[in-house]
Amino acid sequence: MVRKSRRAKSVSTTKSTTKAMKQKFIFVTGGVVSSIGKGLTAASLGSLLEARGVKVTIMKMDPYINVDPGTMSPFQHGEVYVTEDGAETDLDLGHYERFTSAVMTRSNSVSTGQIYDAVIQRERRGDYLGGTVQVIPHVTDEIKARAYEAAQGSEVVIVEIGGTVGDIEAQPFFEAIRQLRSEVGMENSILVHVTYVPYIAAAGELKSKPTQHSVKELRMIGLQPDFLVCRAEKPIDEALKKKIALFCSVQPEHVIAAQDSRTIYEVPLALHREGLDDRVVKRLSLDTDKPDLKGWQHLVKVLHHPERTVRIAVVGKYVDLKESYKSLHEALVHGGVANHAKLEITYVDSEKLTEKNAAQALSDAHGILVPGGFGTRGVDGKLASIKYAREKQVPYFGICFGMQLAAIEFARNVCGIRDATSREFVGDGGRGNLVIDFMEEQRTITNKGGTMRLGAYPCDIQKGSKVEQVYKATRISERHRHRYEFNNKYKALFEKKGMQATGVCKERDLVEIVELPDHPWFVAVQFHPEFKSKPLAPHPLFTQFVKASLQRQKVLAGVEKRTAKGSGVLAESAKKEARA
Ligand code: GLN
């Protein structure tokens, strides 16, 4: 499949402007501090409008200079979220897709890097001949054109601006939305400012001053918010709402309290209780029904009252930063919901795991997952955990790197290929048994940004396999983000020794899924199913992995029951035996 060039393309401003006039715009900005939930506010507002029958899309404007987050470390930026059309984007796009049915594409994600890239390309082509290229109007025009482009086909477009008001890099974006608001008419646009109202324990009070300051900052650049979503640890009472309203020139009923909640999936319901969607549709003169929130209500009920708990170990190297495995974490939670189970997810540091301590470290886990990853650090620990899962019949789910390593572990320990490895570990000149090797088109690629195999590709599933039961289909489509692949040279040997390639991309002859038919649940996939799981539509692979883990839990409980009848020492050793 030929992909659209990832380099920023220029969008004709005037043409898109007239076309997009019928859309309503909701801008979401942030104040006081970052990480207060602008993305979740945008996504939740999107879900509420959708629940009222409004066709919504959401876009993110990121002020950093990188063209996209694809080359940023997960330590710095969190997860890189991949869209159907292969854009590497900010993790907020994951929230947008999980909370709404809007399909994200590369036009839903814009960065300063892309904007400047497009403007500079145009300048080199000579499109501005004779003119001086400036932030206003050239850069701001390009930003507006992107917003109009993303808005096509929707009634409402929610535009989230990354960072916090006052950030130097974000200035052109704020200026662009100031212009855009007057272009589309103030009656067709809303500015929702998400702010933080800190609780000062010494005074025993919530403080509104930082919110006042950030609104002042907005006003200085010509932007007046219509709504304030105030994030706080404690409830915000009416008196404080009135005070904030007065100081910030916002209607008191447009001051929305967003108190910390137990799960992110409560946010749409909480914002609805505060009247956010009611007032937004009124302010935008949208004629809608009352929202149907039954799905969200059921979800929250299950999350708060699970029938059982199951333990999953995720073995990776970004254990301190849950943001790095955002979609994966959420997809596991969804799989739990589908089984009415709460998941205790433990992130196990692969750098600390060895073949010797794996049994001990993972003995409590009812399921083991090795997620996507890059580089050699922590690989031995991941291989040890896969070996443990394979040998001890613990459900195993390998994703991308977790699939490649499952193949290497199998080659080394079952097929007897002791030096089995991946091209990623040995480099271009590396020799030996490269069970995982370059994809053909990757051999000549030198640029790092946007050059992996990215986005959705089809996969054919073998009849009678475990994954056929999972998907209940023989042709699926999943999203990818990788440079290396399973080396078909080893396929026949693997199948003879008991690892089946049950999913293949026929068009390219690439192995996409391997499984062990003689194991309770050992499935490893080259793609990233976590990007397509939604709380109201859990991905079947996660649902079935959790189900298999619950089964494992039952087996262990059975052993414990039987051994409990025996004498203390004997019972303990029998339990250990079952686990280790
Ligand atoms: N590092 C591996 C590759 O590039 C796997 C990538 C991933 O897990 N996303 O193929």
- Residue with CA closest to ligand 1 atom 8: 372
Q: What is each CA distance from 302 to 111, 294, 343, 516, 546, in whole angstroms?
A: 38, 12, 12, 32, 15
Do 132 and 212 belong to one domain? yes
Of the residues 298, 333, 364, the one at which a domain ends: 298
Taking the CA of residue 485 as reference, the ligand 1 atom at the shortest distance is: 10
In a domain, 40, yes or no: yes
pLDDT surpassing 50 at residue 207:
yes
Q: What is the CA radius of gyration of the chain?
A: 26
pLDDT surpassing 60 at residue 577:
no
Taking the CA of residue 400 as reference, the ligand 1 atom at the shortest distance is: 8
In a domain, 561, yes or no: no
Residue 572: its pLDDT value, please? 52
Q: Where residue 481 falls among pLDDT bands split at 50, 70, 90?
A: very high
**Of 77, 334, 528, 539, which residue is the catalytic one?**
528
Spacing, Cα 306 to ligand 1 middle (Å): 34
pLDDT surpassing 80 at residue 75:
no
In a domain, 319, yes or no: yes
pLDDT surpassing 90 at residue 443:
no
- Residue with CA closest to ligand 1 atom 3: 482
Residue 18: its pLDDT value, please? 43
Do 423 and 363 belong to one domain? yes
Do 274 and 347 belong to one domain? no
Which residue type does 451 have? Answer: T
A 10 A CB-CB count for 13 gives 18
Q: Where residue 242 falls among pLDDT bands split at 50, 70, 90?
A: very high
Whether 304 is catalytic is no
The b-or-e profile of 416-444 (16+ CB within 10 A means b, else e) is ebeebbbbbeeeeeeeebbbbbbbeebee
Residue 319: its pLDDT value, please? 62
Do 260 and 229 belong to one domain? yes
Q: Where residue 17 falls among pLDDT bands split at 50, 70, 90?
A: very low
Q: Where residue 429 falls among pLDDT bands split at 50, 70, 90?
A: confident
In a domain, 291, yes or no: yes
Rounded to an integer, what distance in angstroms lies between the CA atom of residue 211 and that of residue 198?
9
Rounded to an integer, what distance in angstroms lies between the CA atom of residue 561 and that of residue 555?
10
Taking the CA of residue 399 as reference, the ligand 1 atom at the shortest distance is: 8
- Residue with CA closest to ligand 1 atom 9: 372
In a domain, 576, yes or no: no
pLDDT surpassing 60 at residue 501:
yes
Which protein residues are within 6 Å of ligand 1, measured from CB?
372-374, 400-401, 404, 424, 481-484
In a domain, 72, yes or no: yes
Do 330 and 443 belong to one domain? yes
Spacing, Cα 325 to ligand 1 middle (Å): 14
Spacing, Cα 567 to ligand 1 middle (Å): 49
What is the tens place of the pLDDT at every residue in 512-525? 999 999 999 999 99
Whether 528 is catalytic is yes
Q: Let me know how long the chain is.
A: 580
Of the residues 256, 276, 298, the one at which a domain ends: 298
Whether 505 is catalytic is no
Spacing, Cα 262 to ligand 1 middle (Å): 33
pLDDT surpassing 80 at residue 62:
yes
Residue 5: its pLDDT value, please? 40
What is the tens place of the pLDDT at every residue in 216-235? 999 999 999 999 999 999 99
Residue 136: its pLDDT value, please? 95
Residue 576: its pLDDT value, please? 58
Q: Where residue 21 falls among pLDDT bands split at 50, 70, 90?
A: low
In a domain, 565, yes or no: no
CATH of the domain at 377: 3.40.50.880
Quote the domain boundaries for residue 113.
Answer: 13-298
Residue whose C-alpha is closest to residue 481's, from 400, 422, 403: 400
In a domain, 251, yes or no: yes
**Mean pLDDT score of the chain:** 90
CATH of the domain at 198: 3.40.50.300
Do 105 and 246 belong to one domain? yes
Spacing, Cα 425 to ligand 1 middle (Å): 12
Mutate to test the pocket of ligand 1, among 424, 443, 448 (most ligand atoms within 8 A of CB): 424
Please report, rounded to a whole number, the percentage of residues in the chain having pLDDT higher than 90. Answer: 80
Rounded to an integer, what distance in angstroms lies between the CA atom of residue 517 and that of residue 328?
25
Residue 295: its pLDDT value, please? 95
Do 78 and 153 belong to one domain? yes
Residue whose C-alpha is closest to residue 115's, from 142, 148, 85, 92: 142
Mutate to test the pocket of ligand 1, among 421, 480, 481 (most ligand atoms within 8 A of CB): 481
Q: Where residue 428 falls among pLDDT bands split at 50, 70, 90?
A: confident
Q: Where residue 431 falls among pLDDT bands split at 50, 70, 90?
A: confident
Do 341 and 477 belong to one domain? yes
Do 56 and 82 belong to one domain? yes
- Residue with CA closest to ligand 1 atom 5: 401
Residue 274 vs residue 566, higher pLDDT: 274
Do 375 and 242 belong to one domain? no
Arithmetic mean of pLDDT, 164-177 = 94
Arithmetic mean of pLDDT, 332-352 = 95
Residue 116: its pLDDT value, please? 96
In the numeric block, which tokens belong to residue 100? Answer: 């709404």
pLDDT surpassing 50 at residue 570:
no
Taking the CA of residue 528 as reference, the ligand 1 atom at the shortest distance is: 9
Do 218 and 331 belong to one domain? no
Do 252 and 276 belong to one domain? yes
Cα-to-chain-centroid distance, residue 474: 26
Q: How many domains, the chain?
A: 2
Which residue type does 519 have? Answer: H
- Residue with CA closest to ligand 1 atom 6: 482
Residue 45: its pLDDT value, please? 98
Spacing, Cα 527 to ligand 1 middle (Å): 9
Mutate to test the pocket of ligand 1, among 318, 350, 374 (most ligand atoms within 8 A of CB): 374
Among the listed ranges 117-131, 434-448, 458-472, which one has the minimum average pLDDT value? Answer: 434-448
pLDDT surpassing 60 at residue 213:
yes
Residue 439: its pLDDT value, please? 74
